[in-house]
Structure 1
Amino acid sequence: MIEILTLGIFALALIICLSFDITVIAALLIGFLCFFSYGLYKGFSVKQLLLMAGKGQKTGFNIMVVLSLIGLLTASWRISGTIPYLVSFAVNFISPDYCLFFAFVLNAALSLLIGTAFGTSATMGVITMSICIAAGADPMLAGGAVLAGCYVGDRNSPVSSSASLVAVVTKTDLYQNVRLMLFSAAIPFVLSCLIYLGFGVSQTYQEIHMALGEQFAQEFVMSWWSAVPAIILLGLIFAKLDIKKSISISVLSALVLAFVLQERGIEEILNTLFSGYVSKNLSLSKMLNGGGFLSMVPVVIIICISCTYSGLFEGTALIDTLKNGVEKISKKSTPFTAILLTAITTALISCNQVLTVILTKQLCANIQPDKQKMAIDLENSSILIPALIPWSIAGAVPIATVGAPVSSVLGAFFIYLVPLYWLVREKAALAKERS
Structure 2
Amino acid sequence: MAEIITIGIFLAALCICIIGKVQILYALIFGLFCFTGYSIYEGNSIKVTMGMLWKGVAKVKTILIVFALIGLLTAVWRAGGTIPFILYHAISIIQPRIFVLCTFLLCCVMSFLTGTSFGTASTMGVICMMLSNSAGLNPLLTGGAVLSGIFFGDRCSPMSSSAQLVCALTKTDIYENIKGMTKTSIVPLIFTCIFYVFAAKTGGLNIVDTSSAELFSKSFNLEWITVIPAILILLLAILHIDVKYAMGISILTGCIICLTIQGFTVSKLISCLIFGYQAPDNPRLALLLNGGGLVSMFRVGAIVTISSSYSGIFSQTKLLNGVRSLIQKISRYITSFGGAVVIAIFFSGISCNQTLAVIITEQMSSDLYTDKKELAMVLENTAIVIAPLIPWSIAGAVPITTIGATSGCLIYAVYLYALPIWNFIITLLHTRIDIRDKFIKSSI
**Normalised by the size of structure 2, how large is the TM-score?**
0.96
AA aligned opposite 2:345? I
List aligned pairs for 1:125-164, cutoff 5 A.
Answer: 125-164=125-164
Q: In the alignment, is the contact (CA less than 8 A) between 1:134 and 1:206 conserved in 2?
A: no
List aligned pairs for 1:415-430, cutoff 5 A.
Answer: 415-430=416-431
For 2:298, the equivalent position in structure 1 comes to 297
For 2:91, the equivalent position in structure 1 comes to 91
Aligned counterparts of 1:347 and 1:399: Cα–Cα separation in 2: 17
Deviation at 1:206, TM superposition (A): 4.8
For 1:69, the equivalent position in structure 2 comes to 69
Deviation at 1:95, TM superposition (A): 1.9
Is 1:3 aligned with 2:7? no
Any gaps of 5 or more consecutive residues in structure 2? 437-444
Q: In the alignment, is the contact (CA less than 8 A) between 2:39 and 2:49 conserved in 1?
A: yes
List aligned pairs for 1:269-348, cutoff 5 A.
Answer: 269-280=269-280, 281-348=282-349
Aligned counterparts of 1:45 and 1:311: Cα–Cα separation in 2: 14
Deviation at 1:273, TM superposition (A): 0.4
For 1:198, the equivalent position in structure 2 comes to 198
For residues 268-310 of structure 1, give each alpha carbon's deviation from its aligned partner in whole angstroms, at most 9, with x where no partner exists. Answer: 1100100000012111111100000000000000011111101
Per mean C-alpha deviation after superposition, the further-off stretch among 147-156 and 364-373 is: 364-373
Aligned counterparts of 1:235 and 1:177: Cα–Cα separation in 2: 17
**Normalised by the size of structure 1, how large is the TM-score?**
0.98
For 1:170, the equivalent position in structure 2 comes to 170
Per mean C-alpha deviation after superposition, the further-off stretch among 13-22 and 201-210 is: 201-210
Deviation at 1:212, TM superposition (A): 2.5
AA aligned opposite 1:375? A
For residues 373-420 of structure 1, give each alpha carbon's deviation from its aligned partner in whole angstroms, at most 9, with x where no partner exists. Answer: 110000001101110111111001111111011111111000000000
For 2:378, the equivalent position in structure 1 comes to 377
For 1:358, the equivalent position in structure 2 comes to 359
Aligned counterparts of 2:324 and 2:371: Cα–Cα separation in 1: 17
Aligned counterparts of 1:369 and 1:351: Cα–Cα separation in 2: 28
Q: In the alignment, is the contact (CA less than 8 A) between 1:133 and 1:142 conserved in 2?
A: no
For 2:53, the equivalent position in structure 1 comes to 53
Deviation at 1:204, TM superposition (A): 4.0
Secondary structure in structure 2 of the residue aligned to 1:236: helix
AA aligned opposite 1:152? F
Secondary structure in structure 2 of the residue aligned to 1:333: helix
AA aligned opposite 1:4? I
Q: In the alignment, is the contact (CA less than 8 A) between 2:192 and 2:415 conserved in 1?
A: yes
Is 1:394 aligned with 2:395? yes
For 1:227, the equivalent position in structure 2 comes to 227
Per mean C-alpha deviation after superposition, the further-off stretch among 91-100 and 62-71 is: 91-100
Aligned counterparts of 1:211 and 1:285: Cα–Cα separation in 2: 15
Aligned counterparts of 1:188 and 1:310: Cα–Cα separation in 2: 31
AA aligned opposite 2:95? S
Aligned counterparts of 2:391 and 2:252: Cα–Cα separation in 1: 37
Aligned counterparts of 1:202 and 1:261: Cα–Cα separation in 2: 39
For 1:113, the equivalent position in structure 2 comes to 113
Deviation at 1:226, TM superposition (A): 0.8
Aligned counterparts of 2:312 and 2:358: Cα–Cα separation in 1: 14
For 2:439, the equivalent position in structure 1 comes to none
Q: In the alignment, is the contact (CA less than 8 A) between 1:96 and 1:135 conserved in 2?
A: no
Per mean C-alpha deviation after superposition, the further-off stretch among 212-221 and 176-185 is: 212-221
For residues 294-349 of structure 1, give each alpha carbon's deviation from its aligned partner in whole angstroms, at most 9, with x where no partner exists. Answer: 00000000011111101111222211121111110111220000000000000001
Secondary structure in structure 1 of the residue aligned to 2:200: helix
Aligned counterparts of 2:369 and 2:325: Cα–Cα separation in 1: 13
Q: Please provide the CA RMSD for this pair.
A: 1.1
Deviation at 1:5, TM superposition (A): 1.8
Aligned counterparts of 1:201 and 1:390: Cα–Cα separation in 2: 25
Secondary structure in structure 1 of the residue aligned to 2:241: coil
Any gaps of 5 or more consecutive residues in structure 1? none
AA aligned opposite 1:138? N
Secondary structure in structure 2 of the residue aligned to 1:218: helix
For residues 66-120 of structure 1, give each alpha carbon's deviation from its aligned partner in whole angstroms, at most 9, with x where no partner exists. Answer: 1110010000100100000001111111122211111101000110111110010
Q: In the alignment, is the contact (CA less than 8 A) between 1:99 and 1:131 conserved in 2?
A: no
Is 1:255 aligned with 2:265? no
